[in-house]
Amino acid sequence: MHMRLMLLGGGSALGQAAIRLGAEADINFLAPRPPESGWDSASLTRLLDETRPDALVNLAYYHDWFQAERPDPERFAAQERAVERLAELCLHHHIILLQPSSYRVFDGARATAYSEKDEPEPLGLRGQALWRIEQSVRAICPWHVLLRFGWLFDDSQDGILSRFLKRAERETELTLADDRRGNPTPVDDAARVMLAVLKQLDCRAPLWGTYHYGGHEAASALAFGQAVLGEARSHCRLAVTDVLAQPHAARPDAAEEPQHAVLSCKKILNTFGIKPRAWRTGLPNLLDRYYRHV
């Protein structure tokens, strides 16, 4: 790797996966420790004025954007301002910006897979904030890659997967939507994709733009949950005995979560040669890592 790489959010689950997989491929990141109050416009300005990397992966707010249970409007507003400043700094210093985003920029009203050409119509606060961040990055910094991920799940102790498993340990019955579909995407697979993109950008290929990635084999929330529980039972005793189907419209998060969230990954395959991996193959290692740290 000829480029000097910076990773904001190296302590996040996705950041740790990127560092771990990068080390195996002899790819190193400068991963600065965030200020106690988190990255903001002023601290980002000082950081990039002093370091000036060639490319930057922005996972500074990964948990809020991808794993937090409830979105915080004030935090999102501050993060939007910080990312806008980050894009300005990347423009000023000629830095490539790899910015993650999400299927949540779509409203889930169509049953077919979303491509990069489809117009975003976010439902909830999180999707709306991510869409504004995308627009900001796109308008300010020409050297950007916006990478929209499917259903990201990781081994963090306060993430989506952890909350589900903790419920399964104490409740005998769970309900999941059988008519809500998406691309489950293990955190290691998402990290693999980011590294593959960086490798090609390192070859000075001007492949800027927006790309989709999600694990192979779209699944319903019910099917995904059943697969997770099947693997989890090899690690611990679960209280849950029944997993019942429930309509998407009856779910408490139906107003914010897209019902149909399947992403088409043709563009990233045709542009970068990145093939989707089956999400089921990533479950054993992920859950093994999760239970080792519970």
- Provide the residue ranges of all domains of the chain, joining segments of one domain with +: 5-292
What does the pLDDT read at residue 206?
Answer: 87
5-292: CATH, from 1.10.357.10, 3.40.50.720, 3.40.50.300, 3.40.1110.10 = 3.40.50.720
Tell me the residue type at 9.
G
Q: Residue ranges of the alpha helices (H) in the chain?
A: 13-24, 41-51, 62, 73-93, 125-140, 160-170, 187-202, 221-232, 266-272, 283-292
Mean pLDDT, contiguous 10-residue spans, the chain (294 residues): 94 97 94 93 95 97 94 93 97 97 97 96 96 98 98 96 96 96 98 97 91 97 97 95 95 95 98 97 96 88
At how many degrees (to 10) do helices 187-202 and 13-24 cross?
60
